[in-house]
Structure 1
Amino acid sequence: MWIKWIAIIGVLILVCIGLAILYGGYRWQIDTDKLRAKLASRRRTIEPKIYDPEELEGLPDPVQRYFRTVLTDGQPIVAEVSLSQTGQFNLNEMEDKWNPFTATQLVITQRLGFDWDARIQMAPGLNAFVHDAYLLGEGNLHASLLGLVTVADVHGTPEADQGELMRFFAEAAWYPTALLPSQGVYWEMIDDTSARATLTDGATTVSLVFQFNADGTIATMRAEARHRDKLTAMPWGGRFWEYSVRNEMLIPLESEVGWEYPEGTRLYFKGRITEINYESAL
């Protein structure tokens, strides 16, 4: 008899866990839909609507080569991007412990913002749900186990604002018209293969150094300091590869990102774009 009751209890526990997983996913999706609707509602009219090579005049040589390589004359300016990703995420600061993830992302280029909605597998059947976002000048990181138990909630600090704006800026390699001077980016020459780009949104200004491949594409990006938390700022950077034409633009499908320690770079993100779609300003 006791074996029967143990089996019944076990089944009930599994049912409860399954219901919790379903409810957590449902509630998280509602929050995602609200966030993305708010993001999309803040879209502004973009001018100019078409890339004109004449705006490259006076830019550093490697930057001019980049735009001539990845854009076509008359290329519509990107207004919105939606993409899907797969990859691995390392949540351990001391050693490599990689967890698989899947994610979708919505990006608005004016007024700029994004939402990265990820599922990081912590164990079979146990996912961490993550929103990494930038909206109306405010950075936001929210992580929750199963979409029910919050384990991180950071928003509304200058450090978070800087970090998320920097992420938008770095990922503009996927929507390269956002890096044009007409879209608010200021470029400075460093040498024949690299240049510094600066972007301001509201009260937050960020700068990144982009290094370019011989073919003109972006090889790496780097920030001298990005805040990991309120007290710690560290060099941060990443690299891009496997370029492919999407919507008449040459973009990287593979990327990795990490923090630079004195002993070397510790990667925490390795991702691949599996699908990407664009809406233009036209």
Structure 2
Amino acid sequence: MKLLLAILLLVHGLIHLLGFLKAFGIGQYPMFSVQIGRVHGLIWLLSFFLLLLTALTMYFNHKLWPWLGLLAILISQILIVISWADAKYGTWVNLLLLLVIIPGIGEFFFNKKVDGEVKLLTNLQEVSIDKSVDSKLGKALPPIVADWLKNSGIGSSDSISKVYLTQKGEMRTRPDGKWMSFQAEQWFSIKDPGFIWKTRVQMLGPVFLSGRDKLIGGKGQMDISLLSLIPVVRADNDRGINEASMTRFLAEMIWFPSAANEPYISWESIGTHKARAVSTYGDQSVSGVFSFNDKAEPIAFEAMRYMETGENAKLEKWVIKNLSFRIVNGIRIPDKSEIIWDLKEGEYHWLTLEISEIQYD
């Protein structure tokens, strides 16, 4: 899709280049029935370069591409109106491009908002680091959890404070729904537990969903919008979304195992291969059970988590199954997982993900 759009922009730009060539008498262009002055021709050339630059910046994901595209289309349409008899059909191409550029502008503001939230998360993390003390002294861990940290490559004095990762995978919105591919970025704060998760879900052709989940200061929030413009879901700071976000953070600790030693997490042994973790922030607590194999790898996580949002939210069994493991930046983590709602009606496998990249600080 991106390649087709880039080609359309390039072809549209080359057509504008003809106006410049006509104005300076370079070649014969019988499709232009009127004379084009040289100043007018230079504006046609400017439009060509703007459309070319839009194609390149869009293809290589530069954040300013929709603004360049909007300027290019504005100038293009002015030229078309001036030369209406010869160029009027170019209006349809501009309208088609506008349908893509407007969501691009929406995505620009969506990303700018997320960037601000990531900065806030980072600032809160730095304050927490300044105030923190060594939380690992005297920390009692179940044997299987201690083995997990040791085998994952986390030493007794190691402490991760920030994490950035990227994901890819598939999700669906109902048990019999169509699988949709997604890509995501996620930022974690460990000392003051929180995260920002940003995703783009490809629905059908050029139609996509923008999503952002966050947990900051024990408060959760979820925003989902169509084409980064039309709100679809918004859940903000109620018990359901707060606890669901805290549970998610607890489960995703598998990607930064040193968090098992943080003071807001307590542990309880359940047999030899299971342990219950309880995460507390202020007056809120959530818990879940980690299951390990004989290598002390965390192969599953189960918890009662709020499903849906608002008045429809209810506790359901939420399961993460870790399918494979690999070493990333010296730490052995699960890199592929399935997320399942275990409902009375049966299992609802709603998401499969793979870690593409992970960075620790």
- Give the TM-score normalised by the residue count of structure 2: 0.70
Structure 2 residue runs without a partner (length 5+)? 1-85
Partner of 2:208: 127
From the superposition, tell whether residues 183 and 8 of structure 1 become closer, same or farther in structure 2 (CA, over 3 Å). same
Partner of 2:234: 153
Structure with the greater alpha carbon radius of gyration:
2
Partner of 2:195: 114
| Residue 291 (structure 2) pairs with residue 215 (structure 1) | no
Partner of 2:72: none
SS of 1:260's partner is strand
Could you report, residue by residue, the CA deviation over 1:22-72 in whole angstroms, capped at 9, with x for unpaired residues? 2112111111111111111111114328x67x745xx32322222222134
Partner of 2:277: 197
| Structure with larger RCO (C-alpha < 8 A, sep 6+) | 1
Percent identical across equivalent pairs?
A: 24
Structure-1 separation of matches of 2:291 and 2:88: 62
Q: One-letter code of the match for 1:21?
A: P
Could you report, residue by residue, the CA deviation over 1:185-209 in whole angstroms, capped at 9, with x for unpaired residues? 1111211211111010122200001
| Residue 92 (structure 2) pairs with residue 21 (structure 1) | no
Structure-1 separation of matches of 2:111 and 2:360: 22
**1:255, distance to aligned residue in structure 2 (A):** 1.1
Could you report, residue by residue, the CA deviation over 1:101-128 in whole angstroms, capped at 9, with x for unpaired residues? 0011100012111011000001111110
| Residue 234 (structure 2) pairs with residue 138 (structure 1) | no
| Residue 166 (structure 2) pairs with residue 80 (structure 1) | no
**1:13, distance to aligned residue in structure 2 (A):** 2.2
**1:160, distance to aligned residue in structure 2 (A):** 0.5
Structure-2 separation of matches of 1:165 and 1:81: 16
From the superposition, tell whether residues 75 and 259 of structure 1 become closer, same or farther in structure 2 (CA, over 3 Å). same
Normalized per residue, which structure has more helix? 2
Quick check: 2:188–2:196 contact (8 Å CA) kept in 1?
A: yes
Partner of 1:270: 352
Quick check: 1:75–1:248 contact (8 Å CA) kept in 2?
A: no
Structure-1 separation of matches of 2:146 and 2:234: 40
From the superposition, tell whether residues 267 and 17 of structure 1 become closer, same or farther in structure 2 (CA, over 3 Å). same
SS of 1:111's partner is coil
Count of matched residue positions in the alignment of Structure 1 and Structure 2: 270
Partner of 1:226: 306
| Residue 261 (structure 2) pairs with residue 163 (structure 1) | no
Structure-2 separation of matches of 1:80 and 1:241: 25
| Residue 255 (structure 2) pairs with residue 174 (structure 1) | yes
From the superposition, tell whether residues 256 and 13 of structure 1 become closer, same or farther in structure 2 (CA, over 3 Å). same
Using the TM superposition, name which of 74-83 and 152-161 deviates more.
Answer: 74-83
Could you report, residue by residue, the CA deviation over 1:67-103 in whole angstroms, capped at 9, with x for unpaired residues? 2221343552010000111100111x24041100001
- Aligned ranges for residues 32-51 of structure 1 at < 5 Å? 32-43=114-125, 44-45=128-129, 46-48=132-134
Structure-2 separation of matches of 1:72 and 1:145: 41
| Residue 344 (structure 2) pairs with residue 252 (structure 1) | no
From the superposition, tell whether residues 94 and 241 of structure 1 become closer, same or farther in structure 2 (CA, over 3 Å). closer
Structure-1 separation of matches of 2:203 and 2:321: 25
Could you report, residue by residue, the CA deviation over 1:132-161 in whole angstroms, capped at 9, with x for unpaired residues? 111111100001111111111111101100
Normalized per residue, which structure has more strand? 1
The alignment yields a C-alpha RMSD, in angstroms, of 2.0
From the superposition, tell whether residues 122 and 5 of structure 1 become closer, same or farther in structure 2 (CA, over 3 Å). farther
- Give the TM-score normalised by the residue count of structure 1: 0.89
